[in-house]
């Protein structure tokens, strides 16, 4: 965990006051204008979820979400300040104003839509179930009842496991969940198909297998707190995403990191 400085605490307190109501948020001004006046947008992400956001061999932060964010920022006329943090703290940081945005393969869910605006989706994915290669007990999500899985606290993957009756152990990274499965500490893990396939390809791991895929498509979009000051920012990001899709930029970034265009449903 990163140390919480006095400045960070002060920022949270200030943000919590300005976020008490829509009226106070509106009075605080327009978020898009603030960002453009400052010339910088602060974006929260994990930084350890390949191929969405991770560090390459030179320790440079790269990934699909990283490049998409940089392109959006360029079209807004600002630079990006990436701040890495654990998944279970990203939404808190977004709500308190620590981050202007969170771009981290965030699933659009009904529950999240109660508190956040979502931009239009910029990519689509599937959710898969992973077990050890010699596991014959789990062949579907229904087989998770009474079993143990591992996923990040507060993630949709954790919620899916629990919905099928699994006991979910918290884990911080995709690699951690895979290790727990390989060591037999848990029976399975659930994650994005793109991330799982990338992990198996880049590590050469042969001790794991994908046994099931949910039929529903996962839409990835950018969340912002539902306040009046964020309305113009959502609109501006939507326009940037539409332009990126129209001119082929979004598809090109997807091809680079996924080997396929996952930007159209």
pLDDT digits (tens, 9 = 90+) for 210-221: 999 999 999 999
The answer to whether the CB of 43 falls within 8 A of the CB of 83 is yes
Could you tell me the pLDDT band of residue 152, with boundaries at 50, 70 and 90? confident
Cβ neighbors of 108 (< 8 A, separation 6 or more) are 118, 121, 219, 220, 221
pLDDT of 209 over the 50 cut: yes
State how far the alpha carbon of 92 is from the alpha carbons of 13, 16, 23, 116, 173, in Å: 12, 11, 21, 12, 19
Q: Mean pLDDT throughout 36-51?
A: 96
Q: Where in the chain is the domain with CATH 3.40.190.10?
A: 6-123+220-258, 127-216
Contact 195, 178 (CB under 8 A): no
In three-state secondary structure terms, 69 is: helix
Distance CA 87, CA 99 (A): 13
User: Secondary structure of the chain: what % helix, strand, coil (to 5)?
Assistant: 45, 20, 35
Superfamily of chain region 6-123+220-258: Periplasmic binding protein-like II (3.40.190.10)
What's the pLDDT at 21? 38
pLDDT of residue 28: 52
Q: Is the pLDDT of residue 5 over 80?
A: no
pLDDT (tens digit, 9 = 90+) per residue, 57-111?
999 999 999 999 999 999 999 999 999 999 989 999 999 999 999 999 999 999 9
**Predicted pLDDT of residue 13:** 37
- Between strands 148-151 and 116-118, the pairing is unpaired
Question: Rounded to an integer, what distance in angstroms lies between the CA atom of residue 192 and that of residue 198?
Answer: 10
Domain 127-216: state its class: alpha beta
Axis-axis angle for helices 64-76, 231-246 (nearest 10): 110
């Amino acid at each position: 965990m990163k140390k919480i400085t006095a400045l960070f605490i002060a920022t949270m307190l200030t943000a919590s006051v300005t976020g008490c109501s829509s009226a106070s948020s509106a009075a605080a001004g327009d978020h898009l204008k603030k960002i453009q006046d400052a010339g910088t947008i602060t974006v929260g992400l994990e930084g350890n979820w390949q191929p969405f956001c991770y560090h390459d061999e030179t320790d440079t932060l790269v990934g699909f979400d990283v490049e998409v964010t940089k392109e959006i920022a360029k079209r807004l006329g600002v630079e990006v300040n990436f701040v890495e943090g654990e998944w279970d703290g990203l939404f808190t940081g977004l709500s308190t104003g620590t981050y202007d945005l969170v771009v981290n393969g965030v699933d659009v869910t009904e529950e999240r839509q109660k508190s956040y605006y979502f931009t239009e989706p910029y990519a689509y994915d599937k959710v898969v179930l992973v077990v050890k290669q010699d596991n014959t007990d789990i062949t579907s999500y229904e087989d998770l009842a009474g079993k143990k899985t591992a996923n990040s606290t507060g993630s949709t993957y954790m919620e899916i496991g629990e919905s099928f009756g699994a006991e979910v152990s918290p884990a911080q990274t995709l690699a951690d969940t895979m290790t727990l499965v390989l060591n037999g500490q848990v029976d399975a893990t659930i994650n994005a198909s793109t991330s799982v396939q990338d992990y198996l390809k880049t590590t050469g791991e042969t001790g794991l297998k994908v046994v099931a895929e949910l039929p529903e498509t996962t839409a990835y979009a950018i969340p912002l707190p539902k306040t009046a000051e964020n309305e113009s920012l959502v609109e501006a990001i939507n326009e940037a995403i539409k332009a990126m899709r129209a001119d082929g930029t979004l598809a090109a970034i997807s091809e680079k990191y996924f080997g396929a265009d996952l930007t159209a449903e």
